[in-house]
Structure 1
Amino acid sequence: MSAHDAVPVSLAEIARIAGVGRAAVSNWRRRHDSFPTRIGGTDVSPQFSLAEVERWLRNNGKLRDIGGRELLWPRFEALGSRNESGLAIAEAARLMRSPEARTVHPDLSPQAKALADRAARVGREEGPRETFEFLLQRWLETHVRQLSTTPPQLAALMARVALTVRLGPDRGRLTLLDPASGTGHLTAAALQEYDGPGLEVLACERDPALAALAAGRLSFLAEKHDVRPRIATADTLRDDPFSGAKADIALCNPPFNERDWGYEELATDQRWTHGLPPRTEPELAWVQHLLAHLEPGGAAVVVLPPAVASRKAGRRIRGSLLRTGTLRAVVSLPPGSAQPHSVALQLWILRAAPESPATAPPSQHVLLVDATRFARPGTREPSPDWGSLGSFVLASMAALDQVGQDPPEGAVRVPLLDLLDDEVDVTPGRYTAVANEPSHEELARKWNKFDSFLTDLADHSRHLSRLAFETGTPQTTTTVGDLVKAGALMLRAGQQPPPSATTGDGGTVPLLTIADLLHDGTPSGVVPTGSAPAVAEEGDVLVAGVARAFKAWVHEGPPMALGPQLYLLRVDAEKLEAHFLAGCLYAPTNGRQAGTHASSSSRIDIRRLQVLQLPLEKQTTYAETFRRLRAFEELLTTADGSGKGLVSDMSDRLAAGGLTV
C-alpha cells in the first residue's frame, strides 16, 4: 500500500466526508460486506484507508453532493507536522491565485508540494477562497491547543471601535498595523468593516506558518478590496520590520505573560516614551510599540489580560498613559471572549494626540466600561452574547468625547484625579459598581413594576387554585411516535447547518440552539434560507430534547431554524390543538420517563413522550389551562429576577447611606 493510500480516517471523518451522521457510517459498515476493512486503530476507534473509503463511497453513490474539500483535509492532517501542513495550505492558496507559479517554500516535503498542487486544482474547481478558508478552519480546529486566535466577533468589534475612536483628516488610503497577526483574523475583520477608498496593511508574525496563512487570507480579501498588504515574518519587538512607519489604526492581540520579550536588549529603545516596561510587564511593551506607530489622532485597540490594569509593577507606565491622555478607555469583556476563555480579558483603547488640539482637547476623564454581564450562561464554556456586547461597547464609545452625553449604564467617566493615586488601577469594575447606585426615581419605578407582577401572579393563582381533578379514573394516553404514524403530526429534527453554507441571494433565517434556550431564548445566529432541515413556522410545537433544557412550547413569530437537539412538531389542526400538545409534552414526569438516563445531559426520546387522548373539543379546554399555567410560570421567573434585582439595588443604596425614616 502506498503512502497516499495509507492516509487513515476515522468513522467520524468518514461521516464528515459523506455529509451524514456517524451512526449512518456504522450502519454501512454492518450492512455492507464490501465496506473497507480496518487498517489501524482499535475496535472502539477503528481507522480506514482514505483511498479505499473514497472508492467505496463513490461506487455506492454516497458522494453525490460532496466536493473535493472534505477529501483533502485528511491528507493534510496525515503530513503530521503542524508547520508543514500550515505551509502547504498557504502554498495551495498561492497556487490557486497564480497557477503558473512554481516557487515553493523550502521547508515543504515532496508529499506536501504534491498535496498543495492537488488542493489548488480543487480550489480552482470549487472556489479558491472557499477552499482555502475551509482548509484553514480545519487546521485551526486541529491545532486549537497550540494556537491563540481572535474570534471573528471580537475582531470585528475591535475594528469598529478603532475606526470610531480615530481622529484626524482622511488622507485617502488608510493604514492598518497588526504587529502580532497570527493567521490574520484582525486584519481580515478590518477589511470587512472599513468601507473607505483603500487600505494599506502592515502585518507581522514571527511564526512562519501563521505568517504564510495570513498572507494567503489577505491575498483573497485583496481581490475584493483596494488593499496593499505587507506581511513580514519577524519578532516585532526585537526586530521591528516597519520601524518608522505610521498607521491610522492598530489592532493587536499580543502573546500574554512572555518573560523573554527582549527586556535586556531593548532597555534603551526609543519606543518606551512612557517608561521602560518591567520584565514582568511585556503587555505594556506591546502597548508602547503600538503607540510608536500611530499617526496623530490614530487609534489602537489591544486585547490584554485584566492584571495589566492593576499590577503594581506597571503603575508608573499606566500613570503616564493617563496623564498624557493616551489611554482613553478600558473595556472589561465577559469570560469566553477570547483565549484563555476562563479569563475576563480587557480591551484597552489608546489614541495618539491629534495634530490640532482643537480636534480633541486633552480630556480629564477616562471611560471605563464593564461589559462582563454580557455573558451567555449554561454552555460548557463561557460565551459572550456578541450582539448585545457589541451594541453596548459601541454605544459607550459614542460617548467617549461627548462630555455632555452620559454613557450607558455599566460605563462611567472617571476623573484622572481619581485614578492617579498610589495604585493607578484602571479596572472598570472598581468604578462602575459605585457609579450605578440607583436613584430614588429608579427604585420607585422598579417597585411599581414588581408590584404589577405580584398582582398578575395573584390573578393566575386564584384561577389555577380553583381547578378540580377526578381521581381514580384511568386516562388513555398515546405517544408522539404513534401520533406521527397516524398522521396527526409531523416530526422534524433540528441540525447544525454545514459550515460551508453561504447566504447567496436567498436571505437568512434566525437559528435557535440549546445554548440560546439556556440563556434567554433569543436566537443568537442566522443561517441561509433553505440550508436548515427544520424551520419552525407560527403555530408549530417546539421541543428541547435534552434534560438540562427540557421544554415544549408553541412557536409564535416569524420562521426560525432549529439547531441540534431541538425538534419541530407540526400538528394536523383537525386532530390536535397545538397548545394542548405542548402542555402535555412539557410535563416534567413526561420528560423524565422519556430520558435516556438520569443525568442532566441525557437526551429525551421525543417519540416516547406521552400525550393524552382526548377529543378535539375537550383539548381546547385543556389548552387554555395550559396557556394560563405557562403564563404563571413566566411571571414567576420574571418576578424572581425583578425581586433579586431590587434586593441588589436596595443593598447598594443602603450601603451608600442617607437613609431617612
Structure 2
Amino acid sequence: MSAHDVVPVSLAEIARIAGVGRAAVSNWRRRHDSFPTRIGGTDVSPQFSLAEVEKWLRDNGKLKDIGGRELLWPRFEALGSRNESGLAIAEAARRMRSPKARVTRPELSAQARDLVTEAARVGREEGPRETFEFLLQRWLETHVRQLSTTPPQLATLMARIALAVRLGPARDELTLLDPACGTGHLAAAVAEEWDTPGLEVLACERDPAPAALTAGRFEFLAEDRDIRTRITTADSLRDDPFRGTKADIALCNPPFNERDWGYEELATDQRWTHGLPPRTEPELAWVQHLLSHLKPGGAAVVVLPPAVASRKAGRRIRGSLLRTGALRAVVSLPPGSAQPHSVSLQLWILRAAPDSPAAAPPSQDALLVDATRFARSGTREPTPDWDGLGSFVLTAMATLDRVDQEPPENAVRVPLLDLLDDEVDVTPGRYTAATAEPSQEELAGRWDEFGALLTGLADHAQRLSALGFEAGTPQTTATVGDLVKAGALTLRAGQQPPEPVAPAHAAVVPFLTVADLLHDGTPSAVVAAGSATAVAEEGDVVVAGVTRAFRAWVHEGPPTALGPQLYLLRVDTEKLEAHFLAGCLCAPANGRQAGTHASSSSRVDIRRLQVLQLPLEKQAVYAEMFRRLRVFEESLTVAGRSGRGLVSEMSDRLAAGGLTV
C-alpha cells in the first residue's frame, strides 16, 4: 500500500483488531493523549487512520496476541467496492496456495493488487485456509444487506435430505448441481456430508465476486479430497452453462421475487415440461430448471418463499408437479432459518422419476411437514433450534416412501386427490393442524409452564411495586429535536420504497409497517435493502409515530426496513442509553403531548417527544427498570395466551368425560 493511502477505521473496528470491547477503546481515547486523532467521520462515529492505530496499539502493548488477519480486513473494506474486495480475497486465496502465481484479474486496481500480495503473505504465515475463511466471513458480514446466503445449519440439513431422498443404486461418485451458488455454502455442505471419494460440483453464480470466492473455497477443500469442480459465472435461467448435464442431487437457494427472470425470451424453453412459469412465478422456473438437470431418481431441495405453495398463478404447475410425482415433500421452516429471517420459508423436495418402474415408490402421496414449532423462544431475533429441527425433518423424510410407517406428529402424508383441488395449496400448516387431544403428561407440562410464568410475573410485580418516587421534584427534559442538534442521536424517517418488488438478484430485508404493528408486529413483506431510507440495526430505537399504534422500542432483530410513520433513532452510546431513551419516549402521556391532533389516526411529532436529562450512569438504572416493565408486559401477554389455551384444552377434556377427581 502506498504511503499516501490512508485506511479509515471506526471505534468498533479498533475494538475488534485489539480484541476488546468498544468501551475499552473509548476509555483509551479519553485517558491517553497519545491516542491517534480523528481523521474523519463524525463526533458520534469517528474514524482514525489504521496505520496510526496499529502503531499506537503496538507501542502500548495492545497487540500481543492479535494476528495479521484483523489488520488486513480494514484495507479490503477500504477498497470501497463489494465486487473488487471479493475478487481480491479470491485472488489472495489463489496466491496463498501458489506463491509464484501472477494476478490474473486485470479489473483489480493497483491498490487491490498490492493488498492481494500482502494477504497472501499473511495467509502463508498464519494458515492459508484459516486466513481465507476469516476474510470471507468478514466480507459476508460487511455486505450482509447485499448478499443472501444460506446458513451452514440449513445447508447441512438440505444436503442430508437430498442424499437420503434420491433413488437408485449406490455409486462411488456423486454429481452435485447448484445453479445459484452464491459463495458456495450449499456445495460445501455436500462436500462435508459426502465422505466417499469422487464428488463433482457443478456451480453457477451470475455475480462474479461470489463465484470467484466459491472457486477459492473449493480449491482449499480439494487439497485433501477427490473433488472436481466446474464453477462458472452466468445467469443459469437465461444462459444455462450446464445444458444437457445431469446431476445426482441439486440444491438451490434462488433469488426471490424476480420479475425480470427471462419470461419473454424463455417462453418456448424445453425445461418447462410442467408449463410456462407465469411472469410472477420465477421460483417455479427455478424448480423446473432443477428437475431438468436431475438423473433418473435424482433429488433436489430448494428454498422457496411460502407464497409459492399457494399463489393462484402457480396452481397449474403445482398440480402437474404433484401428478407426476416430481414434488415429493414440502417442509415449512421456522422463522430465522434463512434470509429474510422474519418469514417462515419452505423447503421443496423434488425427485425425478426413476428409469425403471420397479424402482418407483409404492405411493405418490405428498409428505407435508410443519417444522415451524422449532423456533427458539426467548432469543433476540428468530433463531431455530437447529438440532431439534434437523432431527425432526430427517425423521419425517425417512417415512417418505414407507407406506407402512406413519410420519411423526406435525407431518402428514396427503393423498393427491386431497391436494388437487381448485387451489392446489401445498402449505403444510393447512394439513398438519393438531387435532388430537393433549395427553395427561402434556397437560401437566403445560400447567407447569403456566405456573413458572405466574412465578415470574409475581417476581417482577414485587420488584416494580417497591419502586419509590419523589413527589413534586422538577425534572429537566430535552426534546428529541434538541438531542439531534446536540449530536446525541441521529433521526431517520421510514418511507415507502420506490420499488414494491425487489429487483433481480437484490438482497432483501424485512419491511415493517404500521399495519404490521397493528396486526402482530411481524413484517409482512420484504424490500431491496438498498431502496430503504431507514434500516433499523440491533440497538437502534424505533418509534411508531401514529397515535393508534404509538410505541417505542429497542430493535433486537435482524436489519429491518421501516415504512412510513416509523422512525429510527441511533444513539451515541457515550451520551445516551438506548433502553432509557425508548422507555422515556414510549410513555403514553409523552405521545399524547406530542400528537398533532386529537384523533387516533393523528401523527406524533417525533421531535417534540420529551426525554429526561440524566447522567449516563443514572440512565442505566432507569433503563433496567424500563426493561423490567417491558418484560412484565410481555409476560402478561404470554400468560394470558397460555391461560386461554389451557382453558380451551381443559374444557374439551372435561366435556369428553372421564374425570378421575
CA distance in 2, matches of 1:261, 1:24: 49
Structure 2 gap ranges (5+):
456-553, 557-616, 629-635
Say which of 610, 622, 626 aligns to 1:598. 622
**Structure 1 stretch displaced more, 180-189 or 24-33:** 24-33
| 1:106-185 → structure 2 map (5 Å cutoff) | 106-185=106-185
Alpha-carbon separation, structure 2, partners of 1:644 and 1:163: 43
Paired with 1:84 and 1:69, the residues of 2 have a C-alpha distance of: 18
**Alpha-carbon separation, structure 2, partners of 1:109 and 1:252:** 33
Is residue 2:242 matched to residue 1:242? yes
**Contact preservation (8 Å) 1:312, 1:423:** yes
Q: Deviations over 1:272-300 (max 9, x none)?
A: 11111111110000000000000111110
Measure, in 2, the Cα distance between the counterparts of 1:161 and 1:60.
53
- Residue 406 of structure 1 aligns to a residue whose secondary structure is coil
Q: Give the aligned residue type for 1:181.
A: C
Cα distance in 1 for partners of 2:87, 2:425 equals: 43
**Counterpart Cα distance in 1 of 2:375 and 2:334:** 5
CA deviations 1:615-650 (Å, max 9, x no partner) are: xxxxxxxxxxxxxxxxxxxxx999999866544556
- Alpha-carbon distance between aligned partners in 2 of 1:238 and 1:368, rounded to the nearest angstrom: 32
Distance 2:448 2:392 in 1: 29
- Give the aligned partner of residue 87 of structure 1: 87
After superposition, give the CA deviation of every residue in 1:418-456 in whole Å (9 maximum; x if it has no partner): 0000110000000001xx3115xx545545777999999
Q: Residue in 1 aligned with 2:228?
A: 228
The one-letter code of the counterpart of 1:437 is T
Please list the CA deviations of residues 459-484 of structure 1 after superposition, one character each: whole Å capped at 9, or x if unmatched.
x9xxxxxxxxxxxxxxxxxxxxxxxx
Q: Does 1:100 align with 2:66?
A: no
Q: Is the 8 A contact 1:9 1:49 kept in 2?
A: yes
Deviates more, 1:56-65 or 1:140-149: 56-65
**Aligned residues of 2:362 and 2:403 also touching (Cα < 8 A):** no
- Higher mean displacement: 374-383 or 54-63: 374-383
Structure 1 600/311 Cα, relative in aligned 2: closer, same or farther at 3 Å? Answer: farther
SS of equivalent residue, structure 1 residue 131: helix
Identify if the C-alpha distance between structure 1 residues 308 and 649 changes in structure 2 by more than 3 Å, giving closer, same or farther.
farther
Preserved CA contact (<8 Å) 2:90 2:216? yes
Q: Quote the offset at 1:399 in angstroms.
A: 1.0
Q: Which runs of 4+ in 1 moved over 3 A?
A: 1-5, 442-457, 597-604, 636-654, 657-661
What residue identity is the alignment partner of 1:218?
A: F
Contact 1:181/1:205, CA 8 A, preserved across alignment: yes
**Are the structure 2 counterparts of residues 246 and 381 from structure 1 closer, same or farther at C-alpha, using a change threshold of 3 Å?**
same
SS in 1 for 2:189: helix
**SS at 1:278's partner residue?**
coil
Could you tell me whether the CA contact under 8 Å between 1:596 and 1:603 is conserved in 2?
no
Q: Which amino acid aligns with 1:598?
A: Y
Counterpart residue number, 2:13:
13
Letter in 1 for 2:49: S
Deviation of residue 53 (structure 1)? 1.2
1:349 Cα deviation after fit: 0.3
Question: Aligned partners of 2:382 and 2:126: how far apart in 1?
Answer: 36
C-alpha separation between the residues in 1 aligned to 2:652 and 2:178? 42
Match of 2:386 in 1: 386
Which residue does 2:524 correspond to in 1?
A: none
CA deviation profile, 1:475-498 (whole Å, cap 9, x unmatched): xxxxxxxxxxxxxxxxxxxxxxxx
Letter in 1 for 2:314: G
Residues 1:335 and 2:335 are matched in the alignment:
yes
- Residue 351 of structure 1: how far off its partner (Å): 0.7
Cα distance in 1, alignment partners of residues 452 and 284 from structure 2: 55
Report which of the two structures shows the higher radius of gyration computed on alpha carbons. 1
3-state SS in 2 of match to 1:279: coil
- Contact 1:325–1:363 (CA<8 Å) still a contact in 2? no
Structure 1 counterpart SS, 2:342: coil
Is 2:316 the counterpart of 1:323? no
Contact 1:446–1:646 under 8 Å retained in 2: no
* Number of residues of Structure 1 aligned to a counterpart in Structure 2: 494
Residues in 1 aligned to 2:178 and 2:201: alpha-carbon distance in whole angstroms: 8
Taking every aligned residue pair, what percent have the same amino acid on both sides?
79
1:273 aligns with 2:242: no
Q: CA deviation at 1:361?
A: 2.9
Q: CA deviation at 1:600?
A: 5.8
> 1:40 and 1:456 mapped to 2: Cα distance?
52
| Change beyond 3 A, Cα 1:160–1:601 | farther
Give the SS at the match of 1:265.
Answer: coil
Shift of 1:29: 2.2
Structure-2 residue corresponding to 1:366: 366
- Report how far residue 366 of structure 1 moved: 0.6
Question: Is the 1:94–1:216 Cα contact (8 Å) retained in structure 2?
Answer: yes
For 2:618 and 2:446, locate their aligned partners in 1 and report how far apart those are by CA, in whole Å. 37
Report the Cα distance in structure 1 between the residues aligned to 2:12 and 2:260, rounded to whole angstroms.
Answer: 41
**1:362: how far off?**
5.2
Question: In structure 1, what is the equivalent of residue 37 of structure 2?
Answer: 37
Summarize the alignment of residues 41-56 of structure 1 with structure 2, pairs less than 5 Å apart.
41-56=41-56
Flag the 1:399–1:89 CA change in 2: closer, same or farther, 3 A: same
Instruction: Report the Cα distance in structure 2 between the residues aligned to 1:351 and 1:420, rounded to whole angstroms.
Output: 19
Equivalent residue for 1:25? Answer: 25
CA distance in 1, matches of 2:89, 2:451: 64
Counterpart Cα distance in 1 of 2:25 and 2:335: 38
